[in-house]
């Protein structure tokens, strides 16, 4: 298929895609040349993955054209895209864990012989790996492999199907630093061999390290496409984050007592890898401390460790001077801590239960709703009705299941519920993620109300605009470390953007 090498490998012309009236991509022109590594950069929700999902045949564009090697294409499924030579390696692997590497690579591959022995499979795999210069033990079971090796199998799987344009979606998100370095080498080699690689990332260091050219997307619009050579991290950071402000929030300098204090806190993520490293943080009553950072740098674990949902390896956390190390989740809640969890459907609510039951999830045991063992149904219903009205949740009844609510309504419900539970501290993790402008503003005003009534707020968000807008002070987190803390007045977007990407002030990589 690689006819004219001067012609772009893939290009999109005026691609638009909206989800329910919200534009995810707005007339995007994008072009990838042969033999290049093209970094696709942008914040969360900028449209990077949506664009690549269109190229890989997972979504269909509302408008615009996809041209592959000079021929216009209309992919109706990922199979069409792979036929045209475009393959995508997703952030979450799609491998069959109990099967071997060779079996996984041959699974669903039209060239797999109908009757075949294990040995032939292994030999074919060996040969193919040799051609590609990528090695994994073909007889190993997937679950025995490290994440980096599994990713290699995914890449081989896509290459085996004849992909000439390889899309890697946030490939380093799951890798250790060493594995990431190895991946960069593989990617460079594949490009040198004539393939094109689209490398989705929001880590500036990776962009500079691996790509030939880069395209920055912001809010579904292409900001720039340029050669990586000569680009600076700060320039990319500025293009990624923009400069807009939606709503004017008065920032304060608060000097009161600390409501939340973390001293030397370290903890592990679910995979047993260090997620927080020696974190010191203080949040005072009546202030919002924003945590800026790219998601996956320890924010989830930070929220969980404060709410006693995750244990600590080292350090201490106090809420109003009381050590929470020995406290149960319930005791922490009772001491006045509310938590808007990052995963509202997975953790913050029970979608199969009625709205009324969800309304009291974090308070049903209090005197307001229960006496001894009995739960006062009527007071639960009354409270739920009030909550629904105050949070302006659109639902036909508090008896309808929470799963029937739209995402915005679910989040309004959870945010208001947790704000009410938070007397002393509100931990808000990505509170407006995925919400439209109105719902986001309402959730933000709920949080600001809590601050104004003297509650301490820890705001975690990967939307830098939101952190800058809302926070009285800003802490930047990168790979589980706090890179710096700034007063809102002295916060510099570009500087914070650099820290988020792992660059320290002097430009050196942390």
Partner 1 sequence: MTPLASMAGAVLSATPWRLERRLEVDAKRAALTRIGGAVGAMVVVGILLLLTGRNAFLIFWQALDAIFGRQRGVEGVALRAIPILMTALGVALSLRMKVWNIGSDGQFLMGALAAVGVGIHMDGPGWLVLILMAAAATLAGAAWILVPALARAYWDVNEIITTLLLNFVALQLVTWSALGFWRDKEAAVIQSTREVPFTLPGIPGADSVTIALLVPLAIAAVLWWVFRSTTIGYEIDIIGGNPRAAGFAGIAVRRRILVVMLFTGAIAGLGGMLQLSAPGAQAMNAGFSAQFGLSGFIVAALAGAAFWGVIGGGLFIASMFYAGIVLQTKGLSVYIIFAVYGVILTGIALGEIAARYRVARRDAADESGAAADEAVAARKGAGP
Binding site for partner 1 (CB under 8 A): 18-22, 24, 42-50, 53, 91, 169-170, 200, 202, 294-295, 309, 328-330, 333, 339, 341, 343, 346-354, 357, 361-362, 364-365, 370, 373-375, 377, 396-397, 399-401, 404, 406-408, 433-436
Nearer to partner 1, 211 or 333 (CB): 333
Considering the complex, what minimum distance in angstroms separates the CB of residue 398 from partner 1?
10
Considering the complex, what minimum distance in angstroms separates the CB of residue 22 from partner 1?
6
44: number of CA atoms within 13 Å, CB side?
16
Considering the complex, what minimum distance in angstroms separates the CB of residue 118 from partner 1?
29
Nearer to partner 1, 321 or 346 (CB): 346
Tokens of 140: 């190993």
Nearer to partner 1, 12 or 49 (CB): 49
- Residue 368: φ, ψ to 5°: -60, -30
Nearer to partner 1, 129 or 239 (CB): 239
Nearer to partner 1, 8 or 408 (CB): 408
Nearer to partner 1, 318 or 351 (CB): 351
Number of CB atoms found within 10 A of residue 138's CB: 24
- Residue 168: φ, ψ to 5°: -115, 115
Nearer to partner 1, 115 or 373 (CB): 373
395: number of CA atoms within 13 Å, CB side?
31
In angstroms, what CA-CA distances link 148 with 31, 198, 235, 289?
Answer: 28, 18, 30, 35
Considering the complex, what minimum distance in angstroms separates the CB of residue 200 from partner 1?
7
Axis-axis angle for helices 407-421, 437-452 (nearest 10): 0
334-372: b (≥16 Cβ within 10 Å) or e: eebbbbbbbebeeebbeeeebbbbbbbbbbeeeeebbee
Considering the complex, what minimum distance in angstroms separates the CB of residue 7 from partner 1?
29
Considering the complex, what minimum distance in angstroms separates the CB of residue 257 from partner 1?
26
Angle (CA) 417-376-404 rounded to 5° is 45
- Residue 354 per-residue DSSP state: B
- Residue 317: φ, ψ to 5°: -130, 130
Considering the complex, what minimum distance in angstroms separates the CB of residue 374 from partner 1?
5
């Amino acid at each position: 298929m690689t006819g004219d090498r001067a012609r772009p490998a893939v290009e999109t012309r005026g691609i638009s895609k909206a989800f329910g009236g919200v534009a995810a991509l707005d007339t995007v022109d994008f072009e990838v040349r042969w033999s290049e590594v093209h970094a696709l950069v942008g914040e969360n929700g900028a449209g990077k993955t949506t664009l690549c999902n269109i190229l890989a045949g997972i979504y269909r564009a509302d408008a615009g054209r996809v041209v592959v090697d000079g021929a216009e294409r209309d992919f109706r499924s990922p199979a069409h895209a792979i036929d045209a030579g475009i393959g995508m390696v997703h952030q979450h692997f799609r491998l069959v864990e109990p099967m071997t590497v060779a079996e996984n690579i041959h699974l669903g591959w039209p060239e797999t012989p109908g009757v075949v022995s294990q040995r032939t499979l292994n030999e074919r795999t060996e040969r193919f790996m040799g051609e590609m210069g990528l090695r994994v033990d073909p007889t190993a079971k997937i679950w025995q492999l490290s994440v980096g090796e599994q990713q290699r199998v995914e890449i081989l799987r896509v290459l085996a199907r004849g992909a000439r344009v390889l899309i890697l979606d946030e490939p380093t998100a799951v890798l250790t630093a060493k594995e990431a370095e190895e991946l960069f080498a593989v990617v460079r080699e594949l490009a040198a061999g004539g393939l094109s690689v689209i490398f989705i990332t929001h880590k500036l260091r990776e962009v500079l390290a691996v790509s030939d050219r880069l395209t920055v997307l912001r809010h579904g619009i292409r900001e720039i496409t340029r050669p990586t050579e000569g680009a600076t991290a700060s320039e990319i950071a500025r293009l990624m984050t923009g400069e807009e402000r939606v709503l004017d929030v008065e920032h304060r300098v608060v000097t009161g007592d600390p409501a939340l204090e973390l001293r030397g806190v370290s903890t592990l993520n679910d995979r047993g890898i260090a997620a927080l490293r020696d974190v010191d943080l203080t949040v005072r009553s009546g202030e919002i401390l924003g945590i800026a950072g790219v998601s996956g740098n320890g924010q989830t674990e930070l929220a969980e460790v404060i709410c006693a949902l995750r244990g600590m390896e080292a350090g201490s956390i106090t809420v109003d001077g009381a050590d929470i190390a020995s406290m149960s989740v319930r005791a922490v809640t009772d001491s006045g801590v509310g938590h808007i969890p990052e995963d509202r459907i997975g953790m913050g609510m029970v979608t199969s239960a009625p709205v009324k039951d969800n309304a009291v999830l974090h308070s049903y045991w209090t005197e307001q709703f229960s006496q001894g063992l009995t739960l006062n149904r009527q007071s639960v219903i009354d409270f739920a009705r009030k909550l629904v009205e105050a949070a302006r949740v659109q639902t036909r009844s508090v008896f309808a299941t929470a799963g029937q609510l739209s995402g915005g309504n679910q989040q309004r419900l959870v945010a208001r519920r947790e704000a009410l539970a938070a007397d002393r501290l509100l931990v808000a993790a990505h509170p407006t993620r995925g919400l439209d402008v109105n719902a986001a503003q309402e959730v933000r005003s709920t949080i600001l109300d809590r601050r104004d009534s003297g509650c301490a707020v820890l705001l975690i968000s990967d939307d830098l605009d939101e952190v800058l807008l809302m926070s009285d002070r800003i802490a930047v987190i990168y790979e589980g470390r706090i890179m710096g803390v700034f007063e809102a007045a002295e916060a510099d977007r570009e500087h914070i953007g650099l820290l988020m990407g792992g660059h320290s002030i002097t430009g050196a990589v942390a």
